[in-house]
Amino acid sequence: MIRTENLVKSFNDRIVLNNITTVFEQGKTNLIIGQSGSGKTVLLKSLVGLHPIDSGSIYYDDVCFSDLNFKDLKRIRKDIGMIFQGGALLDSSTVEDNVKLPLDLFTNQTEEEKLERVNFCLNRVELLNANQRYPAEISGGMVKRVAIARAIVLNPKYLFCDEPNSGLDPVTSCVIDNLIKEITQEYQITTIINTHDMNSVMEIGDKIVYIHKGNKWWEGSNDDILRSDNKELNEFVFASAMAKRAKLATL
């Protein structure tokens, strides 16, 4: 479980996140949604410590993440997996080496054990026969799968995904969404996904936090969204005519 209390973050006196207090639950896919520029990426990067926060607190279970020193921070990072928007695979390493890197750095396993784990994770994301290929030689969907495999190779307790569906076709997006949801439930991970893909919201949004102009505007589940009368949320989620018709039909 990850909890934030009165989280504030600003850049050059411009407040980007204003008093965000929320809880992201374990074993659930927690979604952060909001318009472009609303502050959701800043929130995600603040949660993993890539952006130092101005005030407030971030708790990873009972540990106050925002107060940790460098050494303790390093220790907790081994429990964190992150999938970046573009995959962020190391260009000069093969698929296998990318997934193996955390094992090389933080475990004392033998080469055979490491390869076994790498192959297990690549099988888990249904990526076969790509071990020796470089990131430039595989498709966008495959890059995302490799990124997921790398993120889960150390059995993380917390998984962060920054727009995992961006640039993917609807079918591949669904596959990636379902994969993340399955992994979350299977390993009881606290997963936080930053997205503005409404399919993801409706399909896998166990808990949704809507960020509007740097404020937490609304939170609830994907079922709650259909019944919500929050004006800004409805304008965002049901922006298209088709989505509006779908909501009316559901109600």
Partner 1 sequence: MRFFEFLGKYYILMTKVFSKPEKIKIYRKRILFEVEALGFNSIGIAAIISIFMGAVVTLQMSINLESPFIPQVLIGYATREVMIMEFSSTVVALILAGKVGSNIASEIGTMRITEQIDALEIMGVNSAGYLILPKIIATVLFFPFLTILSIGIGCAGGYFVAMFTGIMNPDTYIDGLKMDFKPFSITYSLIKTAVFAAIITSISGFYGYYAKGNSLEVGKASTKAVVVSSITILIFNLIITQLILIG
Cα separations in angstroms, 191 against 10, 103, 229: 25, 21, 27
Cα separations in angstroms, 130 against 99, 121, 137, 183: 12, 12, 9, 21
The amino acid occupying position 192 is I
Task: Give me the least distance between CB of 84 and partner 1, in Å please.
Answer: 5
Phi, psi of 106 (to 5 degrees): -120, 5
Is residue 75 at the binding interface for partner 1, with CB under 8 A as the rule?
Answer: yes
Instruction: Give Cβ neighbours of residue 179 (< 8 Å, ≥ 6 apart).
Output: 125, 126, 145, 148
Q: What is the number of other CB atoms lying within 10 angstroms of the CB of residue 180?
A: 26
Task: Give me the least distance between CB of 90 and partner 1, in Å please.
Answer: 6
Of residues 27-66, those binding partner 1 (CB under 8 A): 45, 48, 50
Q: Residue 238 has which token pair? A: 């049901």
Of 250, 222, 190, nearest in space to 63 by CA: 190
Q: Residue 165 has which token pair? A: 């569906």
Is residue 101 at the binding interface for partner 1, with CB under 8 A as the rule?
Answer: yes
Is residue 106 at the binding interface for partner 1, with CB under 8 A as the rule?
Answer: yes
Is residue 74 at the binding interface for partner 1, with CB under 8 A as the rule?
Answer: yes
Region of 24-32, 97-105, 172-180, 218-226 interacting with partner 1 (CB under 8 A): 97-105
Region of 80-88, 118-126, 177-185, 219-227 interacting with partner 1 (CB under 8 A): 80-88
From 1, 15, 35, 86, residue interacting with partner 1 (rule: CB under 8 A): 86
Number of residues counted as binding partner 1 (CB under 8 A): 23
Residues that bind partner 1 (CB under 8 A): 45, 48, 50, 74-75, 77-78, 80-82, 84-86, 88-91, 101-102, 104-106, 160
